[in-house]
Amino acid sequence: MNHHSPAALYPEIQPYRQSTLALDNIHTMYWEESGNPSGTPVVFLHGGPGAGSTPAHRRFFDPAYYRIVIYDQRGAGRSTPLGETQDNTTPHLINDLESLRQHLGIDRWLVFGGSWGSTLALAYGEAHPERCLGFILRGIFLCRKQEIDWFLYGLRNLFPEAWRELVAPLSDTERNDILSAYHQRLMNPDPAIHMPAARTWSTYEGSCSTLLPNPATVRYFASDTVALGLARMEAHYFMHNIFLPENSLLNNVHKLHNIPATIVQGRYDAVCPIVSADDLHHAWPQAEYIIIDDAGHSVWEPGIQAALIRTTDRFKTRNP
């Protein structure tokens, strides 16, 4: 009996195809496909921005049913150059998704993303609704000013120890504008300046991502590739309010009302507090909304992981 328990990760698989795609004169994108080459296409949007994707991300999808497309957004993960902010904006990332879709000969795909991946999924869907079979979104982040301020200041209310580590390198004056102070360090070409800043920023996020302390999560966030891509890209995007008009994600969500969608949110998500998911669901009442009562932000929180896998399984019967 090869019976899949309804909430367990699917077994580890290898890609049947992986390559890179030149996006422009600067950026090259890593992409891979696994699962069923003639299955329903699903694209995985990683978080951050800048965190990159991992082999474990393949395991949210039934490989017998789905054609699983995973890639690293420009400046992140295995895409090159790592941490490059030039020509790196949300409109660029939306166009990159379209380039990848066309390159792979895909007409429409299911869009799966958490945290910043949910932000990009909404931005992409609102630009190209006709290309989306559906959405599975987690840990909603709309990148509004209040959300960025919460991440840099409000989190101190729940994680004062982690916040103290974040601001330890900063002067008293710099603490009034944590974002600019970090942006300055992260953009410094000298690794002796940008790497410690990247690790501190990324460790802060990792430390606040789970309901209960999880050293493995913190170690992952502190690793060099994740830290540099994530910290530099987050500071870059936050400094520019994600290169989209204010509140555009909520203002345009009506374009998605007829597309099947599920939103999964941890009640105690400290990084992307539930009020954003609530705002999104209010603007998108047609979407299924699942609150996980004993979870924080991380996709690996047991309740969140289980709900996402149940959702990808249910989408197998929802698709046209």
Extended strands (E) in the chain? 17-22, 28-35, 40-45, 66-71, 109-114, 132-138, 261-266, 288-292
Q: Which helix (H) or strand (E) holds 118?
A: helix 116-127
3-state secondary structure of 43: strand
Helices (H), 153-245: 160-167, 178-186, 191-207, 215-222, 224-239
CB 113 within 8 A of CB 138: yes
Task: Report d(CA 238, CA 37) in Å as an integer.
Answer: 37
Q: Supply the residues annotated as catalytic.
A: 115, 269, 297
Buried/exposed code over 247-259 (b: 16+ C-beta within 10 A; e: otherwise): ebbbebbebbeeb
What count of other Cβ atoms lies within 10 Å of the Cβ of residue 203? 19
What count of other Cβ atoms lies within 10 Å of the Cβ of residue 28? 15
What sign results for the dihedral spanned by CA atoms 35, 41, 47, 51?
positive
Task: Report d(CA 155, CA 61) in Å as an integer.
Answer: 32
